[in-house]
Every structure is written in C-alpha cells, then in structure tokens.
Homo-oligomer: A and B are copies of this chain.
Amino acid sequence: MHLIAIDWGTSSLRGALLDGKGHVLEERSHPRGILTVPPGGFSALFEELFGDWMRPTGSFCLISGMAGSKQGWVEVPYCPCPSGRVEVGNAIVEIEPGRIAIVPGMSDMHDGVPDVMRGEEVQIFGAMALAGLSDGLFVLPGTHNKWVTVKRGRVTGFRTFMTGEFYALLSQHSILARTLDAQAPLDEVAFLEGVTQADNGQGLLHNAFGARTLALFDRMPAGELASYLSGLLIGEELRTQSIHAGDLVLIGSPALTQRYLLALEISGNTARTLGAEATWAGLHALAAIHLSNKARS
C-alpha cells in the first residue's frame, strides 16, 4: 500500500509518495502554504496537487503541520506533553474516512503560558527512528525554532523561540536594514562576534543596536552585519538554554544547522545533525500506528 505523506506548512507544502516500507518513490513541493488557500478550498487544492497519487485503491494520505491548525483544513486538537509517537498516533483524525488523515500538533505549558508546535513533532519521531535515539534535546531551527526534550521516546516538554522571525524583522524592517545586506553570505568571524556579544548580559534590545553603530563607525563592513546579527540572535537563544554535552540533535537545513554548530563550538559543545527528511520517516511510523489501530478495532 502506498502512503502519501504531506507536511503542510504556513507558506509552503511538501509531499512524498512512500512505498509500504517507507521508501520515498517521488517528492513534490508547492508554494501553497495554508495562508494561500481560500476558505473551504483545501479539498479541491489537495485533489489538484495529489489526486494522481491517491488514485490507486487503498492509498492513504497522512498530513502534518499547519493543515491541522485553526486556519487550516480541519482543526485537530493538540496532544499535550508528555506524549510519544503512540499517543500522537492514537490521536490522528481522519478528515476523509479511509483516505486522508491529519496528525495533531503538540502543546506544552510553562507558568500559565502555552506553547505549541505542529509538524516538528513528526520530524522528531522520524529522527528518533532514523538515528535510533530515545533521549535527547532536539533543536529545530526555522522561523519559530523549537527546543524539544525527549525522554524514553516521549516528548516531555518544549519551547518556541522566534529567532528566524526576529532575524527577518530586524534585517528587513528595522533601522538595521539601512546598512545591512540580508543576502550577504555567512561570515564566520562576524557571526561568532555576535554569538560572543550576546552573552554580555545586556540583552537583545541593547545588543541589536550594535549592528547599527558598528556600521556607523565603519567598524564592520556592510557585508558582515547580517552575520553579526544572526550571531547575536542565535547566541541569545543558546544563552538561555542549559545544554548538556552529547545529547543535542539538530534537525534542519544544512545552512541553518551549520550556524548552530559554529555557535555551540564556542562553549565546547557539539551536536548530531539530521536533515528535514526525517518528516517522511515520522509520518510513515505514525501512519503505521493509526492503521494498525484501525485494523484492530
């Protein structure tokens, strides 16, 4: 039986056609995140993009990500922490019975303030399966980074950091945008200067202004300011988290995980890295739980 695995995000979506063993037969991606879909338009868009994959009898589609949010196809309630892949698999909701189902996201709570993720939990379950891990601190960099603690195969807690979104806001819309070239390639020295500066106890609200004044005083070339700002932000994120040697797993694109590895090196830490392909392994494992539940009931 074929599994159609989809990660439907806010601004884009990715899909893969998997065989019964979870091997990828074909991949597709489209700039059709949930924010581009008109109300009531999810079913028609799904048929347009993946109808051919669904044609063989018995094909089943499992979707993770923002498709299960309030602004998505059908809202699917979050699984609270602690939950493992069995609890999340048991909470999968079929939105077209026997054909299409959505994975719930996860929620956590700290001092009365909720935290949420949708899609990252699938990447983590996939990464655990691929790497044979059942414990660790998983970090997923992106627009809204997730720091996720896993113990004995279950997600016990997590926090979101708006690091990627702050970078976009500051580099494109703030006073820093006047002197900073957001497209410049990574300059490792400037990046590490930012990481170090982030630890000076003065906080991001102050340190970010340095990316302006270093340019004003010609103390840093325009081409290095973006790397410095990126270092300030990632350094600020790392500053607040206690990292124990050996248990860190980074999941994301090489361009992003490389920066975290550089920043971690300063404090003598390192991490395993995994690509976002973990999504397909995670959806395959969750689909197996869901379909075996159905077979039993």
What is the interface of chain A, defined by CB distance below 8 A to chain B?
Answer: 70, 110-116, 144, 159-163, 165-166, 169-170, 173-175, 197, 200-206, 208-210, 213-214, 216-217, 219, 233, 236-237, 239-240
Contact = CB atoms under 8 A, between A and B. Distances in A.
A161 B206 contact: yes
B114 A203 contact: no
Contacts of A216: 70, 114, 116
Contacts of A144: 175, 209
A161 B213 CA distance: 12
B209 A162 contact: yes
Contacts of A209: 115, 144, 160-162
A279 B175 CA distance: 24
A203 B237 contact: yes
22 contacts: A70-B216, A110-B202, A113-B210, A113-B219, A115-B209, A115-B213, A116-B213, A159-B206, A160-B206, A161-B203, A161-B206, A162-B175, A162-B208, A163-B205, A166-B205, A169-B170, A201-B240, A202-B240, A203-B239, A203-B240, A204-B205, A206-B240
A204 to B, nearest CB: 6
A4 B203 CA distance: 39
B170 A111 contact: no
Contacts of A233: 205
Given A165-B174, A173-B173, A174-B165, A236 B205 contact: yes
A74 B70 CA distance: 54
Nearest to A170: B169
A199 B206 CA distance: 16
A271 B236 CA distance: 30
A200 B111 CA distance: 9
Given A114-B213, A161-B203, A166-B208, 9 more contacts: A111-B200, A114-B216, A144-B209, A160-B206, A165-B174, A169-B174, A173-B173, A203-B237, A205-B236
Contacts of A201: 240
A203 B204 contact: yes
Closest 5 CB pairs of A and B: A203-B240, A113-B210, A114-B213, A161-B205, A160-B209
Nearest to A213: B114
A194 B200 CA distance: 23
A103 to B, nearest CB: 18
B239 A113 contact: no
